[in-house]
Amino acid sequence: MSIFVHAKKRVSRFLSAFFRKRRSRIGIYGPPNAGKTTLANRIAKDWTGETVGPVSEIPHETRRALRKQDITITGTNGSTITIDIVDTPGVTTKIDYKEFLEYGVGKDEAILRAREATEGVAEAMHWLREDIDGVIYMLDSTEDPFAQVNIMMIGIIESRKLPVIIAANKIDLPDASPQQIRNAFPQHPVIPISCTAGSNIEELYEKMVFHFG
């Protein structure tokens, strides 16, 4: 009898491990300077006490995908999700080293940054096609959401049938218009937030638990 019970427990553990939902990889995508790393840091800080990467006003400060593992987010109803957050470089159609010169970066470093950022965007696209289970698409709500890169990225995400939440960031600024983003992408949930002020971050967490769970 004891051998039977032992075997039954082993089978039970095997089945539990086999059918257990794996940890989801959630990519934070969007154009440069939309607030992707700021959001990644806030999520990681709120739920793990740690951050993901440095933030700067210089575009393409994040030039490689950065990953923070084992973040467990709990909703108000007690439901939880455990995710890895992947903070990606800002996606754009072209990266010109001259962009960095405007911020006082020397030419050699600017050229290096541009090359690294270009490689980083290619890496982020590979992640999106192969290793991402859901997307938070970050948009600056003071900017026109109908930019070519946004239309392209949302199309790629939809073609992969990935769940996506659009975060309309910077609503603390006077010229913010999250409604314009809702009008641009009515097929997806849009959460107006301010990463720096913390506005509506709890609402975003609730949506993440529901949408990515």
Q: Report the C-alpha gap between 125 and 127 in whole angstroms.
A: 5
Q: Domain for residue 44, yes or no?
A: yes
| Model pLDDT, residue 33 | 87
pLDDT tens digits, 103-162: 777 888 878 877 887 787 788 888 788 889 999 999 999 999 999 999 999 999 999 999
Q: Domain for residue 96, yes or no?
A: yes
Q: Domain for residue 14, yes or no?
A: no
- Above 90 in pLDDT, residue 42? yes
User: Which structural domain range is residue 80 located in?
Assistant: 22-212
Mean pLDDT of 5-34: 62
Provide the domain count of the chain.
1
Q: Domain for residue 142, yes or no?
A: yes
* 3-state SS class at 61: coil
Q: Domain for residue 168, yes or no?
A: yes
Q: Domain for residue 74, yes or no?
A: yes
- Above 70 in pLDDT, residue 17? no
DSSP alpha helices (H): ranges in the chain?
Answer: 2-19, 36-48, 98-101, 107-130, 148-159, 178-184, 201-212
CATH code at 82? 3.40.50.300
